Structure 1
């Protein structure tokens, strides 16, 4: 199961809040990019992979937008379909009407025969044919080398450098758009509910609480926190981040922020599951792990698993509940 980061959750929130109608692709320098998603994710997160992971889990809906073909020579997307001569490769191939002579069996363009309203005369054998009885066909003539063929080559030509390539040689890029899925809104609400529940729990214990707070540390670094709580009288500060399934990098980021803010770190898993590596790192660094139960209570009870793919996602849980 793919793990959703905090910034990836923001991708879903943008759709739910209608800040973005959908994440749509564009091709830049031969690469499919999602500009609006790039603005949300960190530099080391790849928009396509993040969006695809959300689509695989039913949080986002993926729509096929088509394909673009890039020039294998210059990677321009200005490729147009054309036909080419199989003998010399020229694209100056034109479909013509051909006539087959009944006397010498020669097939040639209609312009090579002398015609009037009722008769056609072959210049090679002087056979005369009636216009109604003659056999006609359509063939392609290369105006560059004069060769004719029943089936020219299919090709793509780059309008930027005129490079000609077979369709199978062009660089194919598949385009998808991503919109909020059927379960996406409910999943998002579950993640945001967990943050709210943690904030309310700390507020009930007398802390001054902020949700989605950006706090500047002693180093001058701004830290984005899901929950920031402070007791000015006692001089105590708590910082909490909420994740569906926390990664080691989430723990490291929380530890760094807590040290810079002189605060106690709290890690919250909305699924109540963490990996062995995360649990060990949290214990060594004195990070408190909490979970938010389905009834909205905060507890210190959580499961430790060797493999995060064994943990059921929220989508799997609500899908099972509806059966």
Structure 2
């Protein structure tokens, strides 16, 4: 496990998703991205597979059936012509001519269709209540059609066609937290004592051995310069049981 991964797991008790309009998926894990970058969710799932973190249900969302994004917008449409050019307001139904339209169209108390003045509610007109009117085809309706629009790819679809997207929360297990405490304490101990001996601690890195093969080491420390430079590499094996002898000897191979 890399030092970055250890630091992340140690510092992140619970990782939860956050909605955002800037990501194609419509959500992100900001804390994890500080350590793992754009591929944070994949790395979190890798840690789950390795038994280093637990994954639990967090939230169920509707997603785009085409791209899977949860960055969706609800838009209302005219059920007759499909236009989004609709207005909502109090509606008046003028009985003598049958015209139905928003109250705002009845200027000076006159019907915009026949021009007759409105007399009294219940006598020559009624107010059915708030309704919608399509400004393209003139249709008046109580319930507009609604569809979901994907802000990521532009797909337009019915709610029934939406994809189910499950968002998860990730948390470190108490047992692993204890193990990390030990591992980080070991590293601090090594750094402190090597520094006292005059060594400079280098970041874990890939180093070419005498055989020409590249190896990754837990810690690298060096002292001196030029031909007098002394460089040591450190690798640690940890296990619940005694580490087999052949595994211990296998640590010598990379240093050759």
TM-score (norm: length of structure 1): 0.45
SS at match of 2:238: strand
Shift of residue 13, structure 1, vs aligned partner: 0.7
User: In the TM superposition, what are the counterparts of 1:148-297 in structure 2 within 5 Å?
Assistant: 148-158=140-150, 163-170=155-162, 186-193=178-185, 214=205, 215-226=207-218, 240-241=235-236, 267-269=237-239, 272-273=240-241, 286-288=246-248
Shift of residue 86, structure 1, vs aligned partner: 2.2
Give the direction of change, closer, same or farther, for the CA distance of 1:195–1:128 in structure 2 (3 Å limit). Answer: closer
User: In the TM superposition, what are the counterparts of 1:71-110 in structure 2 within 5 Å?
Assistant: 72=65, 79-101=72-94, 108-110=100-102
1:38 has 2:36 as partner: yes
User: In the TM superposition, what are the counterparts of 1:3-82 in structure 2 within 5 Å?
Assistant: 6-7=1-2, 10-14=4-8, 16=10, 30=25, 35-38=33-36, 46-50=42-46, 54-56=52-54, 70=64, 72=65, 79-82=72-75
Q: Structure 2 CA distance, aligned partners of 1:227 and 1:162?
A: 49
TM-score (norm: length of structure 2): 0.53
Q: Structure 1 CA distance, aligned partners of 2:247 and 2:162?
A: 52
Q: Structure 1 CA distance, aligned partners of 2:112 and 2:218?
A: 88
* 2:86–2:132 Cα contact (<8 Å) kept: yes
Q: Structure 1 CA distance, aligned partners of 2:145 and 2:107?
A: 32
Shift of residue 90, structure 1, vs aligned partner: 1.9
Q: Structure 2 CA distance, aligned partners of 1:13 and 1:161?
A: 36
Q: Structure 2 CA distance, aligned partners of 1:221 and 1:135?
A: 85
Give the direction of change, closer, same or farther, for the CA distance of 1:225–1:51 in structure 2 (3 Å limit). Answer: same
Q: Structure 2 CA distance, aligned partners of 1:50 and 1:131?
A: 69
Q: Structure 2 CA distance, aligned partners of 1:169 and 1:111?
A: 37
SS at match of 1:130: coil
Q: Structure 1 CA distance, aligned partners of 2:164 and 2:87?
A: 28
* 2:24–2:152 Cα contact (<8 Å) kept: no
Paired residue total:
219
Give the direction of change, closer, same or farther, for the CA distance of 1:74–1:228 in structure 2 (3 Å limit). Answer: closer
Cα RMSD (Å) of the superposition?
Answer: 5.6
Give the direction of change, closer, same or farther, for the CA distance of 1:144–1:184 in structure 2 (3 Å limit). Answer: farther
Identify the structure with bigger relative contact order (alpha carbons < 8 Å, sequence gap 6+): 2
SS at match of 2:148: strand
Q: Structure 2 CA distance, aligned partners of 1:225 and 1:184?
A: 22
* 1:24–1:178 Cα contact (<8 Å) kept: no
Gaps of 5+ in 1: 1-5, 230-236, 242-266, 290-323
* 2:88–2:131 Cα contact (<8 Å) kept: yes
Q: Structure 2 CA distance, aligned partners of 1:190 and 1:139?
A: 67
Match of 1:130 in 2: 120
